[in-house]
Structure 1
Amino acid sequence: MRPVTDRDSAQWWERVAGHEFVVQRCDSCGTLRFPARAYCHRCRTDRWHWQPIAPTGRVESWIVSHQPFLPGATEPYVVVTVRLSQAPECVMYGNWAVPEPPVAGRPARAVFTVVEEGFSLINWRPLE
């Protein structure tokens, strides 16, 4: 089972499948944004491009999920939100890919997890 994509997220998922860590950058005002959307929340333009950034950030918060959202997912599992280092207005979510519990403020690094051919997820682990 794959996430349902829409007009705004389809290209982002394609880039994740290619193990690219990107956010949108507004061509008018330079605002970095995630999740993907058609218009800039700051200046309302619809001109933008994908901007590669460092796959790092700091853990903002987390939850322990007991609901399997993908076939084969083991439960419980930890989902974190991470504030991105090079795009501090953006937070990205993903599974916590290590057994030790996350800590708010802890530096983290994104890792790509291949689910099946052509489909990957971004998960997070402590930054070593």
Structure 2
Amino acid sequence: MRPVVDRDSAEWWKRVAGHEFVVQRCDSCGTLRFPARVYCHRCRTDRWHWEPVSPTGHVESWIVSHQPFLAGTSEPYVVVMVRLADAPGCVMYGNWCAEDPPVAGQPVEAVFSTVDEDLSLINWRPRE
């Protein structure tokens, strides 16, 4: 099982495979957005570009999953929801890469995990 790549997310997955940490920025109103989509949710324009942002944020929430995400994934595992530091309107999910459980509001940083040449995932670990 692999993440489902669609029209809106294909370029984002390609950039993650190259270890780029980006979100979309609307060319009309400047709104930063994630996940990727064709139209801006604020002004409805279809003009936008990819913009690098800091791969940091704060834990918003988390769950313990007992369902494997990829073949060979050990279970159970913790999935965190992170509010991005440079784009507070955006949240991103990923595996938790630490022994201690996450804490709401905890500062974190992204970790790229290469699965194969076409797929990398963004995971999260505590930021010092």
Instruction: Normalising by structure 1, report the TM-score.
Output: 0.98
The amino acid of 1:127's aligned partner reads: R
Q: Aligned equivalents of 1:106 and 1:4: distance in 2?
A: 29
Partner of 2:113: 113
Q: Aligned equivalents of 2:120 and 2:93: distance in 1?
A: 14
Matched residue count = 128
Q: Aligned equivalents of 1:46 and 1:78: distance in 2?
A: 35
Q: Which runs of 5+ in 1 are unaligned?
A: none
Assess if the C-alpha contact under 8 Å between 2:106 and 2:126 holds in 1: yes
Q: Aligned equivalents of 2:7 and 2:85: distance in 1?
A: 26
Assess if the C-alpha contact under 8 Å between 2:2 and 2:69 holds in 1: no
1:9 and 2:25 equivalent? Answer: no
- Percent sequence identity is 78
Partner of 2:123: 123
The amino acid of 1:4's aligned partner reads: V
Partner of 1:26: 26
Map 1:31-46 → 2, pairs under 5 A: 31-46=31-46
Deviation (angstroms), 1:3: 1.1
Deviation (angstroms), 1:36: 0.3
Assess if the C-alpha contact under 8 Å between 2:38 and 2:46 holds in 1: yes
RMSD: 0.6
Deviation (angstroms), 1:2: 2.1
Moved over 6 A (4+): none
Q: Which runs of 5+ in 2 are unaligned?
A: none
